[in-house]
Copies of this chain bind each other. A is one copy, B any other.
């Protein structure tokens, strides 16, 4: 039975109703709003499909681990039911917690990230069961947390502690997207991340700037530190920073070479004044997917108003993030940074770690599980998929690879105009429907692999 022969209409319709139900629940994890209630609603939806659902206490919200079906193959799915805050609410064109269709899109907080993803998969699973006479022809283990938007503080420990229960043939990650040309975009990895603050203080209170003759300047100290961390090409200059970087595989390099070059579109959208090293095409995507990066998120200290103020600031700070690639270790990077600053006489610069690290992770692009996702995406969308060896972004993928030992692939229903994390978050109706079909076919094909 193929995609063309099966009518998904009723399953897509059912999914839209369930998505409306979930969007109505204001599960903002940053504010601790309606998290147990949303876990309850997800549990009811899963139990209705025959899942047994175990519920665990997370640091912020319940973690759900559900299981259903039987077969020679096992699929692990990871999603989350929490969402970003809806603020600024006044910028929404329809109520943020009311799923609203307009111009071929469904608007609402979580419509894409991640309730839309979750529900499209559930609707696909229902279709699969219908296709198989009411039974699920593979084992599905579904891990659904409610803390993703606050950095998944419980997830790494949970995955480690429950690794033996999570074993599977592969893990289907919580997101994915459709590009402006209608191509499905898949990812086989995420970068790691560590977010830091550098702080420098020279006095307890600001001074008149004449004292710059005799008192050091915290913004000079910070500038010296920041300027020492990379070169003009963007390469990080902290000794040892690249020591643990795993060489990109030929498959990784081949993959970035086939990604359609959207760099000019990015350049225009953001008004970017050129790319580092004039990168485009394969080099652009190689850097984005495979190179570790130091980024300065902010620097602040002293006067910021109109005109001049002749002040010598007492204090300044900088915020940084390091995006890491396998096998860099966030804690080691922080230690290397400390040693680098100390060796340059910058031991007065304090390093503060802002939140929990995430380790980098990339799966083997040639793994049959990853190839299956690509093949099914090609069939469902009728276009050659775009497979990134890694997103340029970060997320809690590493514990699945490290502790469970599964390959991971990200495929889903997001779109460039989906305004994830922003007002007017949306999913295209057509992409939601395609997501239902993809879920059904992906699980069906996996069950027979």
Residues of A within 8 A of B (CB): 191, 193, 195, 197, 201-205, 207-217, 219-220, 222-228, 230, 232, 234, 263, 266, 270-276, 279, 284, 287-288, 291, 293-304, 307-314, 316, 318-319, 321, 323, 345, 348, 354-355, 391-394
Residues of B contacting A222 in the complex (Cβ-Cβ under 8 angstroms):
223, 299
- By the criterion CB–CB under 8 Å, are A275 and B215 in contact? yes
CA distance A310 to B213 in the complex (A): 36
CB contact under 8 A between A297 and B291, given known A223-B227, A234-B213, A391-B210: no
Can you spell out 5 A-B residue pairs with CB atoms less than 8 angstroms apart?
Answer: A195-B307, A212-B323, A215-B276, A220-B227, A224-B227
B214 touches A296 (CB 8 A): no
Whether B224 contacts A295 by the Cβ 8 Å rule is no
Instruction: With CB as the reference atom, state the residue of chain B lying closest to A275.
Output: B214
For residue A219, which residue of chain B has the nearest CB? B296
Closest chain B residue to A201, Cβ basis: B273
Assembled-state Cα–Cα distance A207/B274 (Å):
14
Residues of B close to A313: CB separation below 8 A: 296-298
Contacts A205-B270, A273-B203, A321-B308: A213 and B392 contacting too (C-beta < 8 A)? yes
Contacting residues, chain B, for A224 (C-beta < 8 A): 223, 227, 232
Whether B298 pairs with A304 at a CB distance below 8 angstroms is yes
Please state if A294 and B355 are interface contacts (CB–CB under 8 Å).
Answer: no
Q: Which of B203, B208, B287 contacts A213 (CB under 8 A)?
A: B287
Instruction: Find chain B residues with CB under 8 A from A216 CB.
Output: 234, 274, 276
Beta-carbon contact of B297 and A209 below 8 Å: yes
Closest to A224 in B: B227
Q: Are A204 and B271 in contact (CB under 8 A)?
A: yes
Whole-angstrom CA separation of A301 from B271 in the bound complex: 17
Which chain B residues border A293 with CB–CB below 8 Å?
209-210, 212-213
Closest 7 A-B residue pairs measured CB to CB? Answer: A204-B271, A298-B302, A210-B392, A212-B295, A195-B308, A223-B226, A298-B303
CA A312 to CA B311, docked complex, whole Å: 28
User: In the complex the two chains form, is B223's CB within 8 Å of A323's CB?
Assistant: no
Pick from B204, B209, B297, B323: contact of A321, CB under 8 Å: B209
Report Cα–Cα, A276/B218, bound state, in Å.
12
Separation in Å of the A175 CB from the closest CB of chain B?
A: 14
| Least CB separation from A277: chain B residue | B214
B275 touches A310 (CB 8 A): no
Asked if A297 meets B309 with Cβ closer than 8 Å, knowing A223-B226, A323-B213, the reply is yes
By a CB distance below 8 angstroms, the chain B residues around A201 are 273
Cα of A212 to Cα of B394 in the assembled complex, Å: 13
Q: Give the distance in Å from the alpha carbon of A225 to the alpha carbon of B215 in the complex.
A: 20
- Alpha-carbon distance A216/B348, docked complex (angstroms): 27
Establish whether residues B302 and A214, one from each chain, have CB atoms under 8 Å apart when the complex forms.
Answer: no
Residue of B nearest to A217 (CB): B296
Cα separation A237 to B447 with both chains bound (whole Å): 69
Residue contact B204 to A276, C-beta cutoff 8 Å: no
Besides A205-B270, A299-B299, 16 more A-B contacts (Cβ < 8 Å) are A204-B271, A211-B392, A213-B276, A213-B293, A214-B284, A214-B288, A219-B318, A220-B230, A223-B224, A227-B227, A296-B302, A297-B302, A297-B311, A297-B313, A300-B302, A310-B321
Chain B: CB-nearest residue to A204 = B271
In the complex, residue of chain B having the shortest beta-carbon distance to the beta carbon of A232: B345
| Contact across chains for A294 and B212 when beta carbons are under 8 A apart | yes
Say yes or no: A316 contacts B297, CB within 8 Å. Answer: no
Q: Are A310 and B295 in contact (CB under 8 A)?
A: yes
Residues of B within 8 A of A291 (CB): 213
B-chain residues with CB within 8 Å of residue A197 when the two chains form the complex: 308
Contact, CB under 8 Å: B298 / A355: no
* In the complex with contacts A308-B319, A392-B210, A295-B217 CB distance below 8 A: yes
Q: Which residue of B lies closest to A344 (CB)?
A: B232
Whether B208 and A393, one on each chain, are in contact in the complex, defined by CB atoms closer than 8 angstroms, is yes
Cβ–Cβ < 8 Å partners of A275 in chain B: 214-215
Q: A202-B272, A214-B279 are in contact. Are A220 and B296 (CB under 8 A)?
A: yes
Closest B residue, CB atoms, query A285: B214
Cα separation A222 to B220 with both chains bound (whole Å): 11
Query: A197 to B307, alpha carbons, bound, how many Å?
Result: 8
